[in-house]
Structure 1
Amino acid sequence: MPTWYSPYNITNKPPRVKQLLSFLLSALALPSYGQNFSYPTLKAKGQRLTDFVPSGWTIHNSATGDLNKDGLPDAALVLQHKATVTLTDSEGQVVKSQPRILAILLKSEGTGGFELKEQSNSFIPEDQDLEDDSEELNDPFLRIEIKRGVLELTFQESYKTSTTYSTATGYKFRYNGTDFQLIGADFARTHRKHFELEQYSYNFLTKKRIYSKGKIGGSMTSSAPKSLALPTLKTLKTLKALNGWEIEPDVAL
């Protein structure tokens, strides 16, 4: 069973997966907002992590570890705008949020500082539940980690109301000297009422997918690996946003 995250403690929502994915694609895709908010361009180099934090922003979460196999501690930051911004999404809905930026920094042996290698203004969705609306999604961002040279990002899609369905998605990115390639992903869907759990585990290096199904807290039955038709690996740049890639029916990464 994949162990990138545990979906068992996630609040659930009724079985409307396509509606949920459609909502996420429209509500969480930051570049779709039509208003005058603009993202800052982060510094290319800095001695400290705080040098990459623009005025009016803060470090919401972070991880450290060696991403380029040079033995030095690199860093990945999730920056968050301090003030609440009122935005209009692609469907014309007015939402309040605190925008976020993903920044990936490589440590320099020569200067002892850091160099910015990746800035994504769209991959880390913000918490739009700023008015305590019980029908809104909980904060989709769960955690960021660097393990064995791999950047791992984990998200959950759940509602505050305790109903039926929820999903969780984990990503694994590895630096190839130029880009951060998506080498693996995990998608889980839970049904609280029936205690059912489905998991899709993707290995994009071997181009295989394993599907598992079972009961929450119980044993899982896994299918034989399924081959994937993937001509090239996706990257953090080409994937762009959470749930933006419908890899198979009812499964979006």
Structure 2
Amino acid sequence: MKLFVGFLFSALVVTSYGQEFSYPVMRTKGQEITDFVPQGWLIHDSAVGDLNKDGLPDAALILQHKTLVTQIHEGSEIKSQPRILAILVKSGATGGFELKEQSNTFIPEDQDLENDDEELNDPFLRIEITRGLLELVFQESYKTSTNYSAGTEYKFRYNGQDFQLIGADFTRIHRMDFEREQYSYNFLMKKRIYSKGKIGGKTTSSPAKSFALPALKTLKTLKAPNEWEIEPDVTL
């Protein structure tokens, strides 16, 4: 049995929105970042940096619904606040911003906010723009009931049309013995490196392993974190 099944529960909640919750259609242009925040939403997190190599500061926003949305999952009510990933590119001509990507599925929300004793910690960890790459980091850590925690980091590059996934890391940690293993993928080179060791101790890495990849995945084709089984027991 797999130790980690990704954010399956979160994906089920998102799927259920089809009948009960409607995401807003965001405006495509605005002078300020706040112009892109729909009514009833707020900026949960954000990052600023140059995504298209024009020297101007672009922005990526994690928007969160202000109020709780109630969903029914396996007969139980689950309360959460839906999230949106919005990526804005600054225009040199107008000084404003243009919306280049809106994903209603890639940022999992904190689950069951009114009964959080035994649920996942908030899966979203951070967003950054570093060296022209959009980086999104998630964690899968239960407060109880498992000896493992896991984390996934994604690196996206903007090619003028899509945000392509060019790299990703999957890390798994045993909570009892602090053993750590990591799978690091370079999708441009089609190589993967596996490393293992104790936290704070010696780490050993295997030689780079080649893998087949017909085409780079994008934010549109990947859709949600931890749903792509790239190899046995590893999901991105």
Same fold (TM over 0.5): yes
Please give the residue correspondences for 1:39-188 in structure 2 after superposition, counting only pairs within 5 Å: 39-89=23-73, 93-161=76-144, 163-188=146-171
Give how far 1:164 is off.
Answer: 1.3
Q: Secondary structure at the match of 1:28?
A: helix
Distance 2:133 2:67 in 1: 32
Query: Deviations for 1:18-49, whole angstroms, at most 9, x for unmatched residues?
Result: 26416x22433554115321000110000000
- What is the TM-score of this pair, normalised by structure 2? 0.95
Distance 1:169 1:163 in 2: 18
Structure 2 equivalent of residue 245 of structure 1:
228
Contact 1:129–1:139 at 8 Å: present in 2 too?
A: no
Contact 2:4–2:233 at 8 Å: present in 1 too?
A: no
Output the amino acid matched with 1:232: A
Give how far 1:217 is off.
Answer: 1.3
Contact 2:84–2:105 at 8 Å: present in 1 too?
A: yes
Gap runs ≥5 in structure 1: 1-15
Contact 2:190–2:213 at 8 Å: present in 1 too?
A: yes
Greater RCO, CA 8 A, separation 6+: 1
Distance 1:97 1:212 in 2: 36
Contact 1:28–1:126 at 8 Å: present in 2 too?
A: no
Distance 1:73 1:88 in 2: 41
**How many residues get paired?**
235
Gap runs ≥5 in structure 2: none
Q: Secondary structure at the match of 2:35?
A: helix
Q: Secondary structure at the match of 1:33?
A: helix
Give how far 1:92 is off.
Answer: 5.7
Distance 1:230 1:19 in 2: 25
Output the amino acid matched with 2:203: M
Q: Identify which of 200, 204, 217 aligns with 1:217.
A: 200
Contact 2:10–2:109 at 8 Å: present in 1 too?
A: no
Contact 2:51–2:158 at 8 Å: present in 1 too?
A: yes
Change (3 A) 1:171 1:29: farther
Q: Secondary structure at the match of 1:110?
A: coil
- What is the TM-score of this pair, normalised by structure 1? 0.89
Distance 1:28 1:221 in 2: 34
Give how far 1:161 is off.
Answer: 2.6
- Higher strand share goes to which structure? 2
